[in-house]
A and B are shown apart, each in its own frame.
Chain A
Amino acid sequence: MKITVQICSGTACYVMGGAELLSISEHLTPDELEQVDIKGIMCLGLCENYNPNTPYVKIDDEIIKNVTIETLTERIRLAIKAKAEK
């Protein structure tokens, strides 16, 4: 089973920095890419009232907030490592 990385592409997440996350595959190695399934998804419904925590990403069942390309890369690596240790 691959790790699923779902990048929220609701309008709020997208315009608050989520768009940049769509280039995540360029920041991972081919090996790492083999182990993840990256996709944009519909609004997760977490962005009410201009909260400053956008953009959101869901890695498997965990929701992370305020994601940047750097933090996302790191989180994906951690998830891959955690899975390997299991």
Chain B
Amino acid sequence: MNITNKINNLRKSLGAEIISLYFADKLEIEIDKTPIKRAPKNRSSLRCCTYKDRAMYRYRLLSLMGIDIEKEDDEYRSISSFAKEALQRNQIDHKILTVIDIACASCQQNTYMVTDMCKGCVARPCEENCPKDAIQIINNKSIINQDLCISCGKCEKVCPYNAIIYSPVPCEDKCPVNAISRNPETGKEEIDYDKCIYCGRCTRACPFGTIMERSQILDISKQLKHKKNPVIAMIAPSIIGQFPGTIGQIIYGLKELGFDYVYEVAVGADITAQKEAEEFIEKQKEGQPILGTSCCPAYVESVKKHVKTFEKYISHTKTPMAYTAELAKKEHPESTTLFIGPCIAKKYEGTNDQNVDYVLTFEELSSFFLALKIDLLKLEEAKYDTIDATIEAQRFCINGGVAAAVKYYLNKTTPDIEINPYYINGLDKKGLKQLEIAANGKLPNNLVECMSCEGGCLSGPGVIVSPAVSARKLVKPT
């Protein structure tokens, strides 16, 4: 789907509504009116009827307030009572996603289907090319026997009339680890958290917006409004191009929102790259054939859950977020830290890192700017409260960027060691297989750079702007 679509924009605007009501001290009084205001009586509905629309708004608001819908679906309760509960919470738990079951359209299984465009031709390339003999011609029409079909897609490619189509279940189709599937009893999709790697693709793949993040926007609003301690925003390198104006204006905008300090996570990326280069040399000396990068949390989780043989090859170096948070807590021990990036898996990583208090996506940050009516182009410029990061570290967010930064630091100390990276650009089933091959020592390379999102963090699920637009603003290495 295009990055600009109604579901993505709805999340931003509903998030903004929650934040602005909270800052106006009206959240608990007004929030129950939102579904009705958004889906008034005499307007055409997005779904079957106005009432379903309103129910959907309710659940979307709940997930944006961080409620676990699967667990706490009490229809007797008002949205307001959930808001009250959300505002009392002081901790974030590991379950970062939630499924709105009534939003799920119960899509048919991933299948290839023959449409009415089939002319029952004489050449019959579909029948000829099917490796499983799953295609039969009955009454001059091609028919796929779904029990035999292995969804290889050969018939679709060879049909001269484009009469065969692939009809996916979008969430299942995009999940690289088969963690989401249809519960046969309810007909609704469910996430298996023993398999889920938190890559977040399902959240953006579903055109009904069924899978939602449990957002921390309210927790952060609370920190910003009733401040006891300094609040620090840590900004991922992929911020580039996500908002209008310059980086300086975005930093100024964050300070207008109430953040006391703004840290550049690329500073942490410099530490990651440097330490990973040192670890690389060490492992090479020890005779370890290959080292896997460690900064992408969805890929690290996929290794832990699905390619255990590769786990020992993953670098022990911490992520840029972890080093930046460490620095923030060292410089301001009483502070609350918030990572802002393109990533949903970082929310999970954040729950496991005591230095990271909260995690937001760029999309969620946009809700803050919208709610507090901050027009970035009109602002002055401010600087990061951290030292300057290298261009290499700022390019951590694109495919090839991590390996290049490790190489940069390696060249500084030990130029005689050759680095030969293998890139997994967008983790899919093939990528998982490659990791297995790497673990078996059958790759000629000595470094694996893996990014769960194709194109790197600039294509993360939490971005606002497509990578084709944002990548243009990235500084080129000299």
Contact = CB atoms under 8 A, between A and B. Distances in A.
B370 interface: yes
Contacts of B366: 11, 15
A15 B366 CA distance: 7
18 contacts: A9-B377, A11-B243, A11-B244, A11-B374, A11-B377, A15-B369, A16-B4, A16-B9, A19-B469, A20-B2, A40-B244, A42-B377, A42-B378, A43-B377, A43-B378, A50-B16, A52-B9, A68-B4
Contacts of A50: 13, 16-17, 370
B377 A20 contact: no
A11 B468 contact: no
Contacts of B244: 9-11, 14, 19, 40
A15 B370 contact: yes
Nearest to B5: A17
Contact of A22 (B3, B13, B17, B469): B469
Interface of A: 9-12, 14-17, 19-20, 22-23, 40, 42-43, 50, 52, 68
Interface string B281-297: 00000000000000000
A43 B377 CA distance: 8
A16 B345 CA distance: 23
A23 B469 CA distance: 7
A17 B370 contact: no
Contacts of A19: 241-242, 244, 464-466, 469-470
B9 A11 contact: no
Contacts of B13: 16, 50, 52
Interface in B359-376: 366, 369-370, 374-376
B204 interface: no
Contacts of A12: 370
Interface string B434-472: 000000000000000000000000000000111011100
Contacts of B378: 42-43
A67 B264 CA distance: 33
Nearest to A15: B366
A23 B377 CA distance: 19
Given A10-B375, A15-B12, 15 more contacts: A9-B377, A11-B369, A14-B243, A14-B244, A15-B366, A17-B4, A17-B9, A19-B464, A19-B469, A20-B2, A42-B375, A43-B378, A50-B16, A50-B370, A52-B13
A34 B230 CA distance: 52
Interface in B1-21: 2-4, 9, 12-13, 16-17
Interface residues of B, number: 26
A20 B374 contact: no
Contacts of A40: 244
Which of A11, A15, A22 is the most central at the interface, judged by chain B CB atoms within 10 Å of its CB? A15
A20 B466 contact: yes
A14 B17 CA distance: 18
Which of A10, A11, A52 is the most central at the interface, judged by chain B CB atoms within 10 Å of its CB? A11
Q: Across the A-B interface, give the 5 residue pairs with the lowest CB-CB distance, nearest first.
A: A17-B4, A50-B13, A15-B366, A19-B465, A14-B244
Contacts of B242: 19
A14 B374 CA distance: 12
Nearest to A70: B2
Contacts of B370: 11-12, 15, 50
Contacts of B375: 10-11, 42-43
Interface string B219-262: 00000000000000000000001111000000000000000000
A56 to B, nearest CB: 14
Contact of A16 (B2, B12, B243): B12
Contacts of B3: 20
A23 B3 CA distance: 14
Contacts of A14: 243-244
Given A10-B375, A42-B377, A23 B468 contact: yes
Contact of B465 (A10, A20, A52, A68): A20
Contacts of A52: 9, 13
